Amino acid sequence: MPPVRIAPSILSSDFSKLGDEIRSVIEAGADWIHVDVMDGHFTPNITIGPPVVACLREHCSVPLDVHLMITDPAAYIEDFANAGADIISFHVEAVNHPHRIINKIKDCGCKAGIALNPGTSQEEIEFLAENLDMVLIMTVNPGFGGQKFIPEMVRKIQYVRAMMGERDVQVDGGIDQTTAPVVIQAGANVLVAGSYVYKHPSRLEAIDSLKAAAPEYSS
């Protein structure tokens, strides 16, 4: 399995001072910064677009992991790539021709990921696996931060890890000190954590507690 990485989600940060919020978690040991992009159609919320990502890039010294929870990801791939995204993930539920979007992401110089909602079977992406850099498994229903982890997703993580080999398997939703060991043991290596990191009294302690679940840190 690839190294475990912690990717705090800015969805749970203070949007009035995003630059400071990003720097604080990077200084605390974050490996990536996770950016949730919502359009009010695919998910009930609206968050941010390419201009904000471009501003984030100026404050971010680690990879920017952009998660597109939108109905027409193909129309925005170039915009987010040009804004500074390093990894772009889109939802298989939102598109008819996922191969085209994967190729478009890679043509823009970014790593390509595909995301699965809790109700979507991992078999939906099996034919795409060899073309992917990452699979993102939603362990809550998308749209809002602070939700509880769905335990039934553990088997999906195991299945996707077997499918992806040494490539990244990301989990997003309800990740904290209790669920981190569970998802890592199942095969996840990129842990998105929003509320747990940003609402914790010590962001350093929060990130350290997540990393402590990984064999390479705990041994």
Active centre residues (catalytic)? 36, 172
CB atoms within 10 A of CB 218: 10
Residue from 210, 162, 153, 157 nearest 188 by CA: 157
Within the chain, what is the greatest distance between any pair of CA atoms? Answer: 45
- What's 165-196 look like in SS3? CCCEEEEECCCCCCHHHHHHHHCCCEEEECHH
Rg (CA), the chain: 16
At residue 183's C-alpha, the angle toward residues 18 and 214, to 5°, is 80
Residue from 92, 157, 155, 152 nearest 124 by CA: 92
What the block records as the tokens of 118 is 């809790």
